[in-house]
Structure 1
Amino acid sequence: MKISKIFLYDEPAISEIQLERLVDFLKQTFTVQVEKRENILKYSKKDTAEKIASCRIFNLIKPFERHIPNRDEIVFEQENIRNTSKTENIIMYDGFELQKILTELIPDGDSDSFHIFFTNKLTCTYDYNDYRYHGRALIGANPSIISTTGIIEAPAKPREYYLELMANYTQGINVDTIKQKYKGTYLEYNDYRLSKIIEGYLLQAIFYYETADAFCNKPECRLFNAHWQKDLIYSQIENCRLCENHQQILKNLTM
């Protein structure tokens, strides 16, 4: 393996990550050292909050345009760094721009190691195939970013869920009733399954760095790039293993 050591950076706002458990998972899967670290943003410079706020996306159909944040936006990011922000609004950030900021924060001397950051921010990338931004659970390369909000929001819920929402929108039916009907078929915030799901994204991040190919086209493989929640749950929870091809690649990597 090109990787000799992996650093996992915590997101304390999401206790379901279960960082210790993920450290053990990586140690059992790969023949490398794995070390957990606190959220690196806590010790960043004062201008980091402003830089993060400048990564916000306001126009979904245009490539990234750097935003000049106002005071409220900077204060929001400062509170988020201190883990005190209580807002439930989903804010979109350009994943590659956020990646640049995190790269600057990695301590000197760690450049040869592999760094994986967890965040509750919704990371997005611009897709030139349909000329719009899309939410992403994983921003690959080194460092990699795994977005817990991206895991929940990027893969779509069941089609029937959206159809019922639209059909009942004008009838005043409580959305919670529809959510309860489909409960368990998709991930929710504070979902106990999140840590298990994250294992698959850790594998994708490492495979991408090692082989330049993060994904598999087989739904039963943990490297499957799920666009639907049902496929995500199947590949990461119900089946929960690599396909034969990627199992052999993993074996070669760890020899």
Structure 2
Amino acid sequence: MVDRVTIYGAPTTSTDADAIADWLRDRTAATVTVGGRFLESVSTGDLAERFAAARVRSPSDRATGNTMLGTIRYEERVLEDPDRGGGVLYDGRAIQRALNAALPDEPGLEHLRVALLDRALGTWGDHDGRWHKRVNVLGQPSLVSVPGLYEAPAKPEAYYKEQQRHALLSGDTPPREVLENRIDGAFLLEDDPRTTEALKGYVLQAVHYLETGEAFCPREGCRLYNAHYHETLIESQLRPPEFCEEHAPLYAPES
């Protein structure tokens, strides 16, 4: 039984951890609090090296890690100043293990930590032999990747068609900003004003997993659904109703 939930903010992103906590309080019986930046609260001597070891080398290479001194120094700088990071994909499970080991107390299930991170996280797909970006990695602590919200789900077909059209005409890949301006509103952008609202369901998924052992809901349109496309992400997280018939009795607030 999850008695306490602490949500840790990601100051370098456009997320409001307090708003997420308020929303969660109306939908769970747990005591919900907000902490600071998670990577500051669990900082240990080897955390930079653990991040370096979790770096994904290539989309189709299962092996991870670059623990050369320069890479470790980079990770140390990013831990101290997160604005200096970006463009790196990490093995989400390896990061979760590192942060679990760094928790200040015995990491039981009664007190769930949910860390909103400004890092891109992935998990390895045995079915297709490549890394997949993820919005969240469930467990203790649960990790929610804010960049993953924009990058993990596939974008609308029109986005890729415009990308191909531009490549045929100019011979190169268009800047992301160009495509985002041409295909408006069909997916979430970096620093999107809908970010906080969309992340509420992903935080609830973390609570639901520890409470029930169920990772995700299979029904599109439910906040607990694991969307693989931006269209279904928007449908599940930003449009009513919030929950399917099975999960509404558990989480829909009383009117």
TM-score by length of 1: 0.89
Aligned to 1:224: 225
Contact 2:155 2:187 (C-alpha < 8 Å) held by counterparts: yes
Aligned pairs (5 A) from 1:176-191: 176-191=177-192
Aligned to 2:89: 92
- SS in structure 2 of the partner of residue 117 of structure 1: strand
- AA paired with 2:116? F
Contact 2:64 2:91 (C-alpha < 8 Å) held by counterparts: no
State the shift of 1:221 in Å. 1.1
- AA paired with 1:7? T
Contact 1:13 1:83 (C-alpha < 8 Å) held by counterparts: no
Deviation per CA, 1:8-34: give whole Å up to 9, x if none.
1221111x2101111111111111111
Contact 1:40 1:105 (C-alpha < 8 Å) held by counterparts: no
Aligned to 2:142: 144
State the shift of 1:103 in Å. 0.6
Counterparts of 1:207 and 1:119, CA distance in 2: 20
**Is 1:52 aligned with 2:51?**
yes
- AA paired with 1:32? A
Which of 18, 21, 33 lines up with 1:23 in the alignment? 21
Aligned pairs (5 A) from 1:184-199: 184-199=185-200
Distance change in 2, residues 1:57/1:143 (3 Å): same
State the shift of 1:109 in Å. 5.3
Counterparts of 2:85 and 2:91, CA distance in 1: 19
Aligned to 1:131: 129
Deviation per CA, 1:42-75: give whole Å up to 9, x if none.
2512321111111001133243x34242233222
Counterparts of 2:34 and 2:142, CA distance in 1: 14
Distance change in 2, residues 1:171/1:86 (3 Å): farther
State the shift of 1:84 in Å. 4.5
Counterparts of 2:105 and 2:249, CA distance in 1: 35
State the shift of 1:4 in Å. 0.7
Distance change in 2, residues 1:146/1:87 (3 Å): closer
Which of 64, 67, 80 lines up with 2:65 in the alignment? 67
- SS in structure 2 of the partner of residue 35 of structure 1: strand
Counterparts of 2:243 and 2:232, CA distance in 1: 14
TM-score by length of 2: 0.89
Aligned to 1:116: 114
Provide the aligned length of Structure 1 versus Structure 2: 248
Deviation per CA, 1:140-179: give whole Å up to 9, x if none.
1121100011111010111111111112114239544432
Contact 1:115 1:143 (C-alpha < 8 Å) held by counterparts: yes
- AA paired with 2:188? L
Question: Identical aligned pairs, as a percentage?
Answer: 27
Contact 1:12 1:83 (C-alpha < 8 Å) held by counterparts: no
Aligned to 2:102: 105
State the shift of 1:235 in Å. 1.2
Contact 1:53 1:67 (C-alpha < 8 Å) held by counterparts: yes
- AA paired with 1:137? V
Contact 1:204 1:215 (C-alpha < 8 Å) held by counterparts: yes
Contact 1:161 1:182 (C-alpha < 8 Å) held by counterparts: yes
Task: Extract unaligned runs of 5+ from structure 1.
Answer: none
**Is 1:5 aligned with 2:1?**
no
Aligned to 1:247: 248
RMSD: 2.1
- AA paired with 1:139? V
Moved over 6 A (4+): none
State the shift of 1:227 in Å. 0.8
Counterparts of 1:157 and 1:203, CA distance in 2: 24
